[in-house]
A and B are shown apart, each in its own frame.
Chain A
Amino acid sequence: MKAIYRVARATFFEAWRRRFLNAILVFAVLIIGSSWSLAYLQPGAELTLLIDIGLGAIRFFGMLIAVFLGVRLIADEMEKRTVHTLLAKPVTRTQFLVGKLVGALATVWSNILLMGIAFYIVFALKAPQFRNMDPEKGPVVRMDFMYANIAKAIGLSFLEVGCIVAIAVMASTIFSWILAAIFSFFLYFVGQMADFFRVLAQNPDRVESAVQRTFFAILYAVLPHFEVFDVREAILKDQFLPWLTLGKIVATGVLYIVIATLIAWLAFKGREV
């Protein structure tokens, strides 16, 4: 346990010194910070745009940071051969892997937290202005669940980037880091469309061939369903995000993290360094 903590801590502080990752974070915060000015571009839909840009930026840049951090996590240790000294100490491969992963999770989560805070501030400052708009000019969005929903959405982003880090690390223990990055991006974007495959699989009208439908069904089954983390639609309609739904999404996310970590562990425990 101590070993995991030590490795995680070192990983966290090292990751925070990556200029490239910091640049992504700064860029994301800038976009979020200026999203209110972009919102003016679309009179009547300011609030929609604000939420779209804000939460979208958190998810997207969080994903970028997660992939780039995740695929380099083990690769860096191997290339710089810091792993040699470490594994010669009382640190097992399992502790090393878990420690690295925990450190990476802490890093992306702190990144999401900063982006989330930035967005929350912008939203709290700007949303009331947009809400008090003249109903004649555009729809007045109700704000009953808005603040709570946004917090929940940011919470889901934590989980989503957690999954992505775990998947990126998993991929990097199997492929080279470049291939792992491509794999992770691919999985993420196709995973966004997982629900679309379900629709295709269940609609004989749209896809006639049973073979193709089975193919889509399999795709739906194996792909991680990243679309579940996107709750912007519900937020915009100001529907209450039920705790049960959230619970299911959280369970899904945790499951992905566990599976990816398990595969990474299987790949890494026999790995020569």
Chain B
Amino acid sequence: MTKIYQLEFGRKQTGVEDLNLEVEEGQIFGLVGPNGSGKTTTLKLLLGLVFPTSGTGEVLGFPIGHPAYKERIGFLPEGPYFYDHLNAVELLRFYGGLFGLGGKELDRRVQELLELVGMWDRRHIRVRNYSRGMLQRVGVAQALINDPDLIFLDEPTSGLDPLGAMQIREVITRIRDQGKTVFLCSHLLKEMEPLCDNIAILNRGRVVQSGTVDELLAGPQGMYMLRAHTVPQEVVESLRSFATEVRTWDSEIEATFADQKLAAQALEAVVEAGGTVRELSPYRRSLEEVFIDAVGGEAQ
């Protein structure tokens, strides 16, 4: 799919280009990328809010824009805003009504969701007096009002305090564990790494890397990483002779080894010298490293 925005005076701006994504059911799919790389544009295309310049797409088996799948999806827009004369309960009732929900059942659902996002105690405050994080919380709640099979979240934790962010992450994993699909956009790599099953990295409207998180983060075949602390200096020096790389800060060390045997040798040396081993594992890159590799210096 390609989306070229038409600006005034005939200028053009690429939103996304030759985008080709496939999201499997029952997983958390993360779309990451620098600012302006086309994450929000992708969501808008999938929801039929903007139209592709070329190409097609399907959501839940329906062509994009088709009214049928909207019954079964949820959407949290970037920087959400709502009718500001309503309070949280009225707002959720309004959105629930659009799905034909009503009565006691809707009331129960509204309470459940507002408790879930920590807004039940503040349910009588009107939207116009909300803080940024409160808008975000209610935004997540409204995206779930119809118990969707597929939910699109554009930067769900932006503006949230640490506790709020954690709650939302829990909600996201819980939804996935119920067999539902989550389509997540964010540039918070630290957060996405443990959360997502699959990730695509977007840069300037193009997918530059994609795959399962394990695939993306896997280091070179067979490499191991050892993390330890309070290792005597001379042992650290001896590790340098056979490690691929040794990094130290404070009393911590992190060393990578070309294979399992070298790693075991290092482990022994550290233990013998009275150091404390924190971790010995197959070497994994962080999403941040992968991202910077993929996006490189060319990010705007």
Interface set of A (CB-CB < 8 Å, partner B): 2-3, 6, 10, 13-14, 17, 80-82, 84-92, 270, 272-273
Q: How far is the CB of A145 from chain B (nearest CB, A)?
A: 43
Given contacts A81-B81, A88-B75, contact A10 B94 (CB under 8 A): yes
How many angstroms between the C-alpha atoms of A82 and B94 in the bound complex? 13
Query: Is the CB–CB distance between B83 and A272 below 8 Å?
Result: no
Query: Is the CB–CB distance between A89 and B85 below 8 Å?
Result: no
Residue B62 at the chain A interface, CB threshold 8 Å: no
Interface set of B (CB-CB < 8 Å, partner A): 44, 47-51, 67, 70-71, 73-75, 77, 79-86, 94-95, 97-100, 139, 142, 146, 152
Query: Is the CB–CB distance between B100 and A2 below 8 Å?
Result: yes
A2-B97, A88-B47, A89-B146 known, 4 other contacts, Cβ within 8 Å = A10-B86, A14-B83, A86-B98, A88-B73
Given contacts A90-B71, A90-B98, contact A82 B83 (CB under 8 A): yes
B93 and chain A: residue at smallest CB distance: A6
Pick the residue among B50, B82, B98 that contacts A89 (CB under 8 A).
B98
How many angstroms between the C-alpha atoms of A112 and B37 in the bound complex? 50
Query: Is the CB–CB distance between B77 and A85 below 8 Å?
Result: yes
Q: How far is the CB of B194 from chain A (nearest CB, A)?
A: 27
B99 and chain A: residue at smallest CB distance: A90
Query: Is the CB–CB distance between A273 and B49 below 8 Å?
Result: yes
How many angstroms between the C-alpha atoms of A50 and B143 in the bound complex? 55
Query: Is the CB–CB distance between B67 and A81 below 8 Å?
Result: no
Pick the residue among A82, A272, A273 that contacts B82 (CB under 8 A).
A82
Residues of the B chain whose Cβ atoms lie less than 8 Å from the Cβ of A81: 77, 79-81
B3 and chain A: residue at smallest CB distance: A272
Query: Is the CB–CB distance between A91 and B49 below 8 Å?
Result: no
Given contacts A82-B81, A84-B77, contact A272 B98 (CB under 8 A): no
Residues of the B chain whose Cβ atoms lie less than 8 Å from the Cβ of A80: 81, 84
Query: Is the CB–CB distance between B85 and A14 below 8 Å?
Result: yes
16 A-B interface contacts by CB (under 8 A): A6-B94, A10-B94, A14-B85, A81-B77, A81-B81, A82-B82, A82-B83, A84-B75, A85-B77, A85-B139, A86-B98, A87-B47, A89-B70, A89-B99, A91-B98, A273-B50
Residues of the A chain whose Cβ atoms lie less than 8 Å from the Cβ of B86: 10
Pick the residue among B67, B82, B97, B152 that contacts A92 (CB under 8 A).
B67
A85 and chain B: residue at smallest CB distance: B77
Query: Is the CB–CB distance between A85 and B80 below 8 Å?
Result: yes
B85 and chain A: residue at smallest CB distance: A17
How many angstroms between the C-alpha atoms of A110 and B298 in the bound complex? 58
Residues of the A chain whose Cβ atoms lie less than 8 Å from the Cβ of B83: 10, 14, 82
Query: Is the CB–CB distance between A88 and B81 below 8 Å?
Result: no
Query: Is the CB–CB distance between B100 and A272 below 8 Å?
Result: no
Q: How far is the CB of A171 from chain B (nearest CB, A)?
A: 19
Given contacts A90-B71, A90-B99, contact A85 B142 (CB under 8 A): yes
How many angstroms between the C-alpha atoms of A6 and B102 in the bound complex? 12
How many angstroms between the C-alpha atoms of A17 and B126 in the bound complex? 13
How many angstroms between the C-alpha atoms of A82 and B86 in the bound complex? 13
